[in-house]
Amino acid sequence: MRILRLVFIVAFVGFMLAGFQWYRYITNTESPYQEVGIELNSRMPEPIRKWGCDRLHETFANTLPPYGCHAGDGTSWM
């Protein structure tokens, strides 16, 4: 039972750290091209990724969308 609890705690902490990194990327004001943030955002479920891309688009409207936020041709936001 102890090993199961330890695995759960480690998984929970990992999930929280990844979520914090993703949220920090979405709300940043420096650049939409941070590798870790792009990777986390591109692996999110569609509604969460869309919300994140919308937030990035509000902040960086005059730039090309990062991977995971582009629609079709790669030059327009989703």
> What pLDDT is stored for residue 13 in this prediction?
96
Q: What is the pTM of this model?
A: 0.79
Residue 63 has pLDDT above 90, yes or no: no
Residue in this structure with the two tokens 């582009």, named with its chain if needed: 70
The CA-CA-CA angle for residues 53, 29, 31, to 5°, reads 70
Q: How confident is the model at residue 8 (pLDDT cuts 50, 70, 90)?
A: very high
For the cut 80, the answer to whether the pLDDT of residue 60 exceeds it is yes
Asked if residue 41 lies in contact with residue 51, where contact means CB atoms within 8 angstroms, the answer is: no
